[in-house]
Structure 1
Amino acid sequence: MKRRFALRALSGLSAAALLATAPVHADNRPIRMLVGYPAGGSSDVIARHLAQGLQKELGRNVVVENRPGAGGQIAAQALKAARPDGTTLFMSNSHTVAMIPLTLREPGFDTAKDFVPVSLVAVNPDVFVLNTDVIGNPKAGLLEFAEWVKANPGKGNVGVPAPASAPDFAVGVIGKALGADLKSVPYRGDAPIVQDVMAGQIPAAIGSVGAMLQPAKAGRLRIVAVNGTARLPFLPDVPTYLELGIKGYEDVIFNGVFAPAGTPADLIDTYSAAIAKVVKSPEFAEKLAALNIEPVFGTASELNARLQATHEAWSVMVKNAGYQPQ
């Protein structure tokens, strides 16, 4: 499956290389960067900061166009329908390009066939948070929460930002590993989760570190675990799930730029080189630091490899959950 996915993902780029038989002339047409979420969300903010930098690097207008809905599915369908002439790009998180194809029978796009990777831009870990007032232990960690749930049947609700998302499936992974009856409670985004955890409507949640860090600093909730394979530099005391003996939730959400399949290879190279300069700049790093998101540049091939790895990891999560595509 992994080899098939990889070959199909690269097929669009190979086709693009064949199509790019003539040199690309100066192009002053504006570039639209599709975003599958409303203005103000993390993907949107990353896209807007990237667009500002690309305008300077490319000498062309780069306009962010929000196509919110269905976890990025609407924007992904718009990318598929776009002409492969370099005037349309897509800032996507891994949920749209890796999870939706696993959980929907007819998502309206095929990531490997319809899109071409351009560049990896950022990673955005998820964290597990608690309302320790509900639990009655201000120093409780994830293991203590599991013990509390065992002693309080039916109260192990864990908010997640969307149904059929990585955090949604991760609740089952964590509960099974800790022997606790955890129940996923899907929301629409991180914002309402934060409010309900702080209000004590639910005792725990999984959400982006960017959404959870400020309430944690204010003492309104407690961050007790992070996904990935290493602790976050700005949360040195928070263990990873692996450190707690929980395997299967190492893959971190990423944001990357994609183009329609058939986009000429030299354009992909040009855009990737420009994105590299922006993502590696101190200005971009400073802007993302305000969101607690880490800028990470990756070439088209590196983004493709990251996509494959995420696809494989999340395939296991979905299968183990017994989830049937809707």
Structure 2
Amino acid sequence: MTALHFPRRTLLRAGAAAGLLATVGLPRAQSGRTLRILVGFPPGGGTDAIARILAEALKDELGGATVIVENKPGAGGQLAAQALKAAAPDGSTLFLSHDHSISILPQVVKTPGFDPAHDFVPAAGFATFVNAFAVSGGTPAKSFNDYVAWLRGQGGKGAVGVPAPASVPEFLVKLIAEKYKLDLVAAPYRGSAPMMADMLGNQIAAGVGSIPDFIENHRAGKLRVVGVLGGARQLVMPEVPTFAELGLAGFEDVPYYGLFAPAGTPRAAIDGFSAALAKVLAKPAVHERLTAMGLSVGHMSPDQLGQRERAYTATWARIIKATGFVPQ
């Protein structure tokens, strides 16, 4: 997959903007300034790993600030999103999230406890990615068609792990079941890390998650990614076909990763953070680590992230409605 190319703000002002963030957006503490990055999933998963890479690199760009990753797992990121809503809009708290918490949860939960359009503001985006279907090492399947044939040999019934209920992975499981006339049940977990533990322990035969969740174990041969979403095969695993190739189209719009702040956060703080993140993403070591995880890395300004989020939300509003899903 080709890397994203977004028009960037000039980076000549990034140092000044980061300094502005330090004075306007980050509170003073006895040990210096502190920025919290909320993550809605437990340690050990792909989102947590990404947050820690960025947090470490951001320290220097934010004038030596202390940058803390704070995990608030539960309800597919809902608890972390609620914590962001409750946080002071002073630039000291951000929420690192992919599409699920921001674009999907508000459409599938009756009372999520937050409204992204009113409670949050985009701070900066940094990547897109694709979801993938993987089988555990305990199954004989070497391809997606092998998995379907194997499952039919088991009576056509099976469970597929998903990192959160009512998520894009769960909708994919439903559509696969319909297309291939299988009795599949989506088994929701509290994040990708516990799902991965069960897959590696052969407690569940298959799972759907992001490529960053699966890539290391796929490379190690401990599980096998057998299908990816998106419009093209992925550079990090070019041997794996897309679901469009497998005959299941409609999943070409790829999800995003971004950081969001509480509504009311000063725009100067938002712009300062966005400029600092742009500098971080331009560092070869950071770019290479994120790309190796299966991300397509590219800086998105606050406005660009907002546009991306609204477009993706609209796409999935149509898909969710078409499935007949009723918010729980």
User: Normalising to structure 2: TM-score of the pair?
Assistant: 0.81
CA RMSD of aligned residues (A): 2.6
How high is the sequence identity, in percent, across the aligned residues? 45
1:77 aligned onto 2:79? no
Alignment of 1:148-227 (within 5 A): 148-227=150-229
Q: CA deviation at 1:107?
A: 0.9
Q: Deviations over 1:90-143 (max 9, x none)?
A: 212211111110111111110011111111123342211224764x5x54x223
Distance 2:22 2:273 in 1: 14
Residue 112 of structure 2: aligned partner: 107
Alignment-mate amino acid for residue 305 of structure 1 = Q
Residue 39 of structure 1: aligned partner: 43
Checking the alignment, whether the CA contact within 8 Å between 1:280 and 1:295 is kept in structure 2 is: no
1:66 aligned onto 2:71? yes
Checking the alignment, whether the CA contact within 8 Å between 1:173 and 1:249 is kept in structure 2 is: no
Distance 1:222 1:65 in 2: 31
1:116 aligned onto 2:121? yes
Distance 2:71 2:79 in 1: 10
Alignment-mate amino acid for residue 87 of structure 2 = A
Residue 53 of structure 2: aligned partner: 49
Q: CA deviation at 1:241?
A: 0.9
Residue 6 of structure 1: aligned partner: none
Q: CA deviation at 1:161?
A: 1.9
Residue 23 of structure 2: aligned partner: 26
Q: CA deviation at 1:147?
A: 4.0
Distance 2:292 2:236 in 1: 12
Distance 2:51 2:150 in 1: 41
Q: Deviations over 1:255-294 (max 9, x none)?
A: 2111111222232222111111112211212332454444
Q: CA deviation at 1:305?
A: 1.8
Change (3 A) 1:133 1:26: closer
Unaligned stretches of 5+ residues in structure 1: 1-22
Change (3 A) 1:66 1:129: closer
1:322 aligned onto 2:324? yes
Alignment-mate amino acid for residue 111 of structure 1 = P
Residue 238 of structure 1: aligned partner: 240
Residue 5 of structure 2: aligned partner: none
Which among 260, 263, 268 is matched to residue 262 of structure 2? 260
Change (3 A) 1:83 1:234: same
Q: CA deviation at 1:81?
A: 1.9
Distance 1:247 1:278 in 2: 35
Residue 16 of structure 1: aligned partner: none
Q: CA deviation at 1:195?
A: 4.2
Checking the alignment, whether the CA contact within 8 Å between 2:157 and 2:182 is kept in structure 1 is: no
Residue 126 of structure 1: aligned partner: 131
Checking the alignment, whether the CA contact within 8 Å between 1:147 and 1:180 is kept in structure 2 is: no
